[in-house]
Amino acid sequence: MVFSELYGAYYNVLAEILRLAVASPPLETKDIHRIVEERAFSESILELESALKSGRWPLIRADGTTALKQPPTMPLTLLQKRWLKSLSLDPRLKLFTDEPLDFPGVDPLFTPEDVGCYDRYLDGDPYEDEDYIRNFRQILDALHRRRPLHIHSLDAAGREKQADVLPSHLEYSEKDDKFRLQCHRGHGYTTINLARIIHAGPSEKDIRLPAGKKELPLPRQVDFELHDHRDALERVLLHFAHLEKEVRKLDTKHYVVRMSYDQKDETEILIRILSFGPMLKVISPPHFVRLIRERIEQQKEQSL
């Protein structure tokens, strides 16, 4: 909202219309229609075209030209600059770009020291390590180009191994503070922790998915009832914002949520659901209900 509420859809559409009017006058009605269809809601054409042609918004003359000499700009506010300055302090930003995101004389809205993370392991990935950054970018490039990779990595026991894989996507675990690469290998799938990769580079092998085979197995799903007490619904949706969800309303205070997750993250999802206490009640699948009961029993025994 720091950005969208200041320059909404109308601002961006009008800015594009005016840029075209400055660059290639005269502006024609079909140009306005095309820009609105590409960048706004279809019904917006009624409001925008009328306001421009009637002179209510004195930006475009009747002959399709504009009094503007330069294309419009939408400068950042101080709040936006402070927000972006805060994001630039995140070491993970270096994984994607070397270009500094800096605004001289602007203080960040918050710093990493101002954020306290609970229930997170302390051995996160080395985001500032040059080898890690280089491997991450190589993987990212391979994902964009749909190219196979040759991976030289360490297994859980510290043994070196090599493999040619077809990358599918990157996953980030908030609890572990680690990235993982999901990829196709041979006739199956494999997961590689990025911190264990020694070197990643292009593969000379032509690796393709077998005909009719999906990239990854279907994720697991868990259904739970939610009692919306103390803004539980909003907190759950924010807490699990990175996961695919379906929410069905039962009444003003009760909902059923279906959430998809990766099988390897099941323990993490279990713990995070339990952290909401009586506001959430898992109803399916049976094996997840059993895991919940076993976990609660363990906690009871440990408290005695």
Distances (CA, A) of 67 to 15, 74, 95, 252: 14, 18, 44, 54
Rounded alpha-carbon distances, angstroms, from residue 21 to 71, 74, 110 = 9, 17, 40
Where in the chain are the domains?
1-75, 78-114, 130-202, 220-303
Task: Decide if 112 contacts 90 (C-beta within 8 A).
Answer: yes
Q: How far is CA 303 from the centre of its chain?
A: 38
CATH for 130-202 is: 2.30.30
Would you call 21 exposed, middle or buried from its count of C-beta atoms within 10 A (0-12, 13-18, 19+)?
Answer: buried
Mean pLDDT confidence for 168-189: 85
Higher pLDDT, 35 or 301: 35
- Sheet containing 254-261: give its strands across: 245-249, 254-261, 220-227, 280-284
Query: Does residue 218 register a pLDDT over 80?
Result: no
Weakest mean pLDDT among 38-52, 85-99, 191-205, 287-301: 38-52
Rounded-to-integer distance, Cα 187 and Cα 209, Å: 9
* Mean pLDDT across the chain: 87
Q: What is the pLDDT of residue 282?
A: 94
Q: Is the pLDDT of residue 214 over 60?
A: no
Where is average pLDDT lowest: 20-34, 131-145, 173-187, 279-293?
173-187
pLDDT value, residue 157:
86
User: Distance between CA 234 and CA 134 in Å, rounded?
Assistant: 38
CATH for 220-303, among 2.60.40, 3.30.70, 3.30.1490, 1.10.10?
3.30.70
Q: Which amino acid is at 106?
A: V
Say whether pLDDT at 202 is over 90: yes
